[in-house]
Amino acid sequence: MTVYNIALIGFGGVNRALAELIASKNPLWERDLGFRLNIVAVSDLYLGSVISPNGLDATTLVESKFAKGGFSQLSGGSAEANNEVVIKNAPADIIVEATFTNPKDGEPAVSHCRWALEGGKHVVTTNKGPVAIAAQELKALAKKNGVRFEYEGSVMSGTPVIRMVDKTLAGAELNGFEGILNGTSNFVLGRMETGMDFSAAVKEAQELGYAEADPTADVEGFDVRLKVVILANELLGANLTPDDVARKGISGLTAADIDTAKKAGSRWKLIGSAIRNADGSVTGSVEPKCLPLEHPLAAVSGATNAVSLNTELLGSVTVTGPGAGRIETAYALLSDIVAIHNLAGANLKKEAA
Amino acid sequence: MTVYNIALIGFGGVNRALAELIASKNPLWERDLGFRLNIVAVSDLYLGSVISPNGLDATTLVESKFAKGGFSQLSGGSAEANNEVVIKNAPADIIVEATFTNPKDGEPAVSHCRWALEGGKHVVTTNKGPVAIAAQELKALAKKNGVRFEYEGSVMSGTPVIRMVDKTLAGAELNGFEGILNGTSNFVLGRMETGMDFSAAVKEAQELGYAEADPTADVEGFDVRLKVVILANELLGANLTPDDVARKGISGLTAADIDTAKKAGSRWKLIGSAIRNADGSVTGSVEPKCLPLEHPLAAVSGATNAVSLNTELLGSVTVTGPGAGRIETAYALLSDIVAIHNLAGANLKKEAA
């Protein structure tokens, strides 16, 4: 039986959900996936950090009501979030990076990833920052150190997109994509279709926990722009930065715009897209588009996300699924670990030959 | 550079489309996929058979207007479709099975696959027959002989479903699926929504080439039933035969049924589905269902296909794409060969270690 020792960097919703899954699913994963996960370290800005070479009990970790700095109560614990020490010194095979997204320079998550990869540790992350800002550098660093940098959850939570294209659409000749990549703005547009104005719809999204106190990143397309950069660079071999992608959000849409579209048998959606141009360059954009109801993305409602992949040999293939959610995003981390495990399996077989 | 020698069994629309792709795409595949394809044999009920150890020119093969038995004009050719000889004796690495689907016992395609696998040749196929009837036996035979039996195109042409679940959703805990798996019946239902009655809609589908002279397999759910068996056995580990799956087609739906649904904000779709029951058994079914417009499958229109995969950790993930088409189905064969190539790569690295 393979056991992967993992260190959780950040202990917010996503990594907490992963710990919950570990608490209940390890026997199932042993049977179906061929491995179990053992948490050997956790670091969190609020709770502090802890290294436990034999492993922390996932149930205890999830159920304890720690106060600020509370990890100091644990054996091997500290009230400080010693991320660098944890990443460099914890006996982890895999570093699970789930700190906050910094859309400017990706820090401190980029450094977290660098430390891990330089130390020969795999990295799995749901953090858009390091992927949008530094994917090329981090992938090269992973390769150099014989480990993997995996980030399925940086776009559309656990709904497969990056790995789907890589593993199931090779040779289909992807020319571009368009997607609904932000559940909050899609929810707001849906509410506006019922006659609500923009501000009231945002307020409702905030009350339901879909939108943050400052909804700018979601409704003005900044979040989608990071995802367009990630997908364009990953799927179309582009080398875009966020500033390369034109961006327009949905705050300028009025109730009248929505109504006019409705009467014309169409519907506004915030679309993130990229296309490969004739000269090989790639253009990304984020803007509200008025889609006819027959369009494969027109029916994607509420907080659901979807991406249509436009290919030469298959035409359009669309994948639709959750775009957020604690467990759904934690699943993305699991799917990254499964991919590492399967690759390690091939390597182990190689070594045994 | 890796060259795979392939033998085409059946030279109808799909294998002919594969030959067309080979004629133009080999340089691209060499660059992007790491291999090229070389056709060393073809066998076809109408045209005869030919074995050419050095390879047949794909362009010549595609552009020549052969008469009945016309392969006899080629060096190494015969007016007879010597399938068994071709499969057993051609110096092929991969047998590409694309003969007609026999829903009763899968023959002669099951024998074609057996001969190939017993001879240590990989099989890729778009033929539902051998997959629905004999997948377990053929997979075991492939394993025993150190080769692969791949069949992504047996459901939804090149739109990834089987490989998508295997490669991107491991550990998501699939509990069932429901899909629109027959483009002809979906097209007919779409036309009925415009006010046409069933017979007129079928007639139009026949005129457009979507439906065959005898539309029974499509509109009565027999085709969908085979696909439900394939997906249930593959994705849910079931062991169903076609007779185990309850089946009802769309011929009983009247214009009034369609109209009533429309007025209620819903829409009839022919749904193939399977669920895992509490006792671990799997129940499959094919029947028209009246879906609310918010349902992820309700907006799938025309000849497009889609499958919603119901998972424990992600909820519903839906993939939508072409369900048929010459090039789209030929792409499924290419995607199977890519999968074999990637696996062979892992094995080759193993041997080199």
Which stretch of DSSP H or E encloses residue A78? strand A77-78
Q: Say which of A25, A68, A227, A289 is annotated catalytic.
A: A227
| Residue A16 C-beta-side C-alpha neighbours within 13 Å | 12
Q: Which class in CATH covers the domain with range B2-158+327-352?
A: alpha beta
pLDDT confidence bin for B353, thresholds 50/70/90: very low
Instruction: Write out the two tokens for A205.
Output: 């999204």
Residues of A256-282 as b/e, b for ≥16 C-beta within 10 angstroms? ebbeebeeeebbbbbbbbbbbeeeeeb
Q: Which of A209-223, A304-318, B20-34, B222-236 has the lowest mean pLDDT?
A: A209-223
Q: Which residues of B are annotated as a binding site for L-homoserine?
A: 212
**Taking CB atoms and an 8 Å cut-off, how many pairs form between chains A and B?**
141
CB contact under 8 A, A301 and B294: yes
CB contact under 8 A, B163 and A167: yes
CB contact under 8 A, B167 and A167: yes
List the single best residue of B314, B328, B334, B349 to mutate versus A (max A Cβ within 10 A): B314
Residue A352 φ/ψ, nearest 5 degrees: -75, -15
ipTM: 0.96
Surface-to-core class of residue B265, CB atoms within 10 Å of its CB (0-12 exposed, 13-18 middle, 19+ buried)? exposed
Distance of CA B80 to the CA centre of its chain: 26
* CATH 3.40.50.1220 applies to domain B162-322: no
pLDDT at A171 (0 to 100):
98
Q: Which residue of A has its CA nearest to B158?
A: A314
Of B164, B171, B296, the CB nearest to A320: B296
pLDDT at B293 (0 to 100):
87
Mean pLDDT of B129-135: 97
pLDDT at A211 (0 to 100):
86
Q: How far apart are CA B150 and CA B339, in angstroms?
A: 8
Of B168, B299, B334, the CB nearest to A171: B334
The CA distance from B92 to the nearest CA of chain A, in Å, is 22
CB contact under 8 A, B167 and A172: no
Q: Which residues of B touch A307 (CB under 8 A)?
A: none
Which stretch of DSSP H or E encloses residue A289? strand A282-292
Q: Which residues of A touch B331 (CB under 8 A)?
A: 171-172, 313-314
Q: Which residue of B has its CA nearest to A305?
A: B317
Of A28, A170, A350, the CB nearest to B338: A170
Surface-to-core class of residue B146, CB atoms within 10 Å of its CB (0-12 exposed, 13-18 middle, 19+ buried)? exposed
Residues 6+ positions from A219 with CB-CB distance below 8 Å: A184, A185, A188, A202, A211, A249, A250, A251
The CA distance from B283 to the nearest CA of chain A, in Å, is 22
Q: Which residues of B are annotated as a binding site for NADPH?
A: 128
Q: What percent of chain B has pLDDT over 70?
A: 97
Does the annotation count A104 as an active-site position? no
Q: Which residue of A has its CA nearest to B170?
A: A335
CB contact under 8 A, A346 and B351: no
pLDDT at B347 (0 to 100):
61
Q: Which residues of B touch A317 (CB under 8 A)?
A: 159-160, 319-322
User: Mind giving me the DSSP string for A260-273?
Assistant: HHHHTTEEEEEEEE
Q: Which residue of B has its CA nearest to A338?
A: B170
Residues of chain B with CATH 3.40.50.720: 2-158+327-352
Strand runs (DSSP E) across chain B, as ranges?
A: 2-9, 35-44, 48-51, 77-78, 94-97, 122-125, 149-150, 174-180, 246-247, 266-276, 282-292, 304-311, 315-322
Residues of chain A with CATH 3.40.50.720: 2-157+327-352
Q: Which residues of A touch B301 (CB under 8 A)?
A: 294
Of A33, A318, A350, the CB nearest to B349: A350
Of A159, A335, A350, the CB nearest to B353: A350
Residues of chain A with CATH 3.30.360.10: 162-322
pLDDT at B74 (0 to 100):
96
Q: How far apart are CA A58 and CA A56, in angstroms?
A: 6
Q: Which residues of A touch B29 (CB under 8 A)?
A: 171
Q: Say which of B68, B203, B227, B262 is annotated catalytic.
A: B227
Residues of B198-218 as b/e, b for ≥16 C-beta within 10 angstroms? beebbbebeeeebbeeebebb
Cα distances (Å, whole numbers) of residue B32 to A171, B1, B35, B164, B177: 7, 12, 8, 20, 33
Q: How far apart are CA A246 and CA A225, in angstroms?
A: 8
For A243, which DSSP code? G
Average pLDDT, chain B: 95
Q: How far apart are CA B25 and CA B21, in angstroms?
A: 5
Per the annotation, does A128 bind a ligand? yes
Topology at the third CATH level for domain A2-157+327-352: Rossmann fold (3.40.50)
Surface-to-core class of residue B78, CB atoms within 10 Å of its CB (0-12 exposed, 13-18 middle, 19+ buried)? middle
Tens-digit pLDDT profile for residues B90-106 = 999 999 999 999 999 99
- How do the pLDDT tens digits run along chain A, 353 residues long? 899 999 999 999 999 999 999 999 999 999 999 999 999 999 999 999 999 999 999 999 999 999 999 999 999 999 999 999 999 999 999 999 999 999 999 999 999 999 999 999 999 999 999 999 999 999 999 999 999 999 999 999 999 999 999 999 999 999 999 999 999 999 999 999 999 999 999 999 999 888 888 999 999 999 999 999 999 999 999 999 999 999 999 999 999 999 999 999 999 999 999 999 999 999 999 999 999 988 889 999 988 999 999 999 999 999 999 999 999 999 999 999 999 999 876 665 444 44
